[in-house]
Structure 1
């Protein structure tokens, strides 16, 4: 009787363990597509980002990591990139490597998650030429983007319109640009990350396969 009971328990344990182990083995490894946006924001950068998203979808990636370093560039290209990121069905992570200024700040704010490197900065997005029309349009774009991604639109507006200021960070008449820790304080960065590995770990992708999107020569023709 005792022998029968032991055999029964062994069979029961195997019956429970085998389906579990099979299911675990069938789980696909997580993957992240990484792309670097560096330099002037223009049509070529927009095309590069578009193709990187296509690569992410083709590989069924669980996230897109966009490493950003720019002084700014063309507003229309930045808006195109902003829309790509906002509309992405794939979770997006921005890692500000050095600077996300001007048009780059809009691109960064479109992401669901933002990390910033030590010494990095974001903001300084006053349009050129600085007319009432251009300031109003870009300020609305920044505010809407911040609101969409759960950030304070008032802070975003101060990056565009220097008449606003932000108490403790910029006096009225000064355009707002935030350092790494200031960005974290106001919720425009989730944390300060020393490197890519820290970013991936923070967002639950430690050990994920990173697929580097390599720019094609056609990306620069847009």
Structure 2
């Protein structure tokens, strides 16, 4: 089953993902693929999405076809496998306020913790995840102080934050030897909108 996260992460997106995960379980989907292109959104809604992904018993893969910034980076890190299109990006997860400035440190601290624990849970380097939030994190030969991490596709592959560069969802399936499939893209019904 494919679900699309191609908008701001907000309560409506949180509801869509919750219903999509329930649909995947009810229809006995073998794999869930998230088609991702987002600049992020609200932290509370993002955390609900991450918890849902981490709790589902079906493998969840993400295809970042353009951007997984901020909340999109956290959601991607929660997935079992990350695939990226050429020219895609992942990172820049500093929490911002309504004016676009950095939110107070208590929010940054919370986001750093969520990023680290989510990365650890999925076998990814937690310091890199933290570096996507905190410009003061220094990672030898990768990141100096003063900048948050945002990876290109090739950088993400090199640092264990992407399995492969792919052009499409079909290519992800082919790479994983999934040959007999039907792509079911989840859409909200009229009564669910």
Q: For 1:218 and 1:70, how far apart are their aligned partners in 2?
A: 25
Q: 1:173 maps to what in 2?
A: 146
Match of 1:216 among 158, 173, 189: 189
In the alignment, structure 1 residue 69 sits paired with structure 2 residue 40: no
Alignment match of 1:194 (pick from 141, 161, 167): 167
State TM-score, norm by structure 1. 0.81
Question: Which structure has the bigger radius of gyration?
Answer: 1
Cα 1:73–1:219 shift into 2, 3 Å: farther
SS at match of 2:132: helix
Provide the C-alpha distance between the structure 1 equivalents of 2:192 and 2:166, rounded to a whole number of angstroms.
Answer: 29
Counterpart-to-counterpart distance in 2, 1:147 and 1:39: 27
> How much has 1:219 moved relative to structure 2?
5.3
Distance (Å, rounded) in 2 between the aligned partners of 1:89 and 1:204: 20
What CA deviation, in whole Å up to 9, does each residue of 1:138-191 have, x standing for no partner? Answer: 000000000001100000000000011434443210111000000011111100
Instruction: Give unpaired runs (5+ residues) of structure 1.
Output: 1-32
RMSD value, Cα:
1.4
Map 1:69-88; keep pairs closer than 5 Å: 69-88=37-56
Alpha-carbon contact 1:45-1:219 (below 8 Å) kept:
no
User: How far apart are the structure 1 equivalents of 2:176 and 2:45?
Assistant: 28
User: TM-score if structure 2 supplies the norm length?
Assistant: 0.93
Aligned residues: 188
| Correspondent of 1:42 among 10, 30, 35 | 10
Structure with greater proportional helix content: 1
